[in-house]
């Protein structure tokens, strides 16, 4: 599985390269700025991009914008964004793109190598990997419709938004999968969202709603 990595801090970039190579990934390119990232993504067309939001030369949203530009040329290119903080504007912009696998992790998660590698694999497979802190921040902005949900439905929604399957949600909440399915049906009814069998589209629909 081929990866393009963008991180401006040399030590962190080298550490991520070694971690990914040690877990079976091939590094197609490892860059430290936005323009090089865009070229690498378009030229190499990797299975997944792991991208720091803030890259030279602007240190604003250079990495994210390069990734979004690449997705316009390579539709469905999976992108996992890394950020130092929960930046809701960037999370919304990434999710609004709506095609291919997407992920948004805080950089602290990188130090949990198993969790980080799992997120990379999930996004590469077309799934979603959202940091729990990002999900919580996005949920607090959802407005009045979220007040319709029960505490258990809110818990289910947060786990859904993290990209978990019904079975994983059931295990986390210590309930049956049938109970989870009921919670999810109630969530979509209360939020006026169409139910889908596609986990990725389901998560994106929920997050898109919460970010309107």
Task: Look at residue 199 and give its three-state secondary structure.
Answer: helix
| pLDDT averaged per 10 residues, the chain (length 212) | 96 96 97 97 97 92 91 92 80 68 88 92 88 70 66 86 84 94 84 58 59 51
Three-state SS sequence of 24-38: CCEEEEEECCHHHHH
Q: From CA 45, how far away is CA 141, in angstroms rounded?
A: 35
In CATH, 2-131 is 3.40.50.2300: yes
User: CB count, 10 Å around CB of 148?
Assistant: 12
CATH topology of domain 142-210: Arc Repressor Mutant, subunit A (1.10.10)
Cis amide leading into 167 (omega within 30): no
Q: Which two tokens stand for residue 185?
A: 């049906």
Cβ-in-10-Å burial (0-12, 13-18, 19+) of 74 comes to middle
Identical topology for domains 2-131 and 142-210: no
pLDDT value, residue 129: 85
- Residues present in the chain in total: 212
Domain ranges of the chain: 2-131, 142-210
pLDDT value, residue 34: 95
Q: Among candidates 89, 102, 99, which has minimal Cα distance to 61? A: 89
Q: From CA 78, how far away is CA 124, in angstroms rounded?
A: 6
Radius of gyration, CA atoms only, the chain? 17
Whether the model clears a pTM of 0.85, i.e. scores above it, the answer is: no
b/e map of 38-49 (b: 16 or more CB within 10 Å)? bebbbebebbbb
């Amino acid at each position: 599985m081929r990866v393009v990595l963008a991180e401006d801090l040399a030590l962190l970039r080298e550490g991520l390269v070694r971690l990914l190579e040690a877990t079976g990934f091939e590094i197609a390119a490892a860059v430290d700025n936005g323009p090089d990232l865009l070229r690498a993504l378009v030229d190499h067309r990797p299975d997944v991009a792991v991208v720091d939001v803030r890259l030279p030369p602007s240190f604003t949203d250079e990495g994210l914008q390069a990734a979004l530009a690449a997705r316009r040329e390579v539709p469905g290119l999976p992108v996992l964004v890394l950020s130092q903080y929960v930046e809701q504007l960037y999370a919304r912009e990434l999710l609004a793109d709506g095609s291919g696998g997407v992920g948004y992790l805080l950089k602290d998660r990188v130090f949990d190598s198993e969790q980080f590698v799992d997120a990379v694999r999930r996004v590469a497979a077309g799934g979603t990997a959202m940091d729990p802190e990002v999900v919580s921040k996005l949920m607090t902005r959802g407005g009045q419709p979220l007040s319709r949900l029960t505490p258990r439905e809110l818990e289910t929604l947060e786990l859904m938004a993290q990209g978990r399957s019904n079975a994983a949600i059931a295990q986390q909440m210590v309930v049956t999968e049938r109970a989870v399915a009921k919670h999810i049906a109630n969530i979509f009814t209360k939020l006026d969202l169409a139910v889908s069998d596609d986990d990725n589209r389901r998560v994106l629909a929920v997050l898109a709603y919460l970010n309107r």
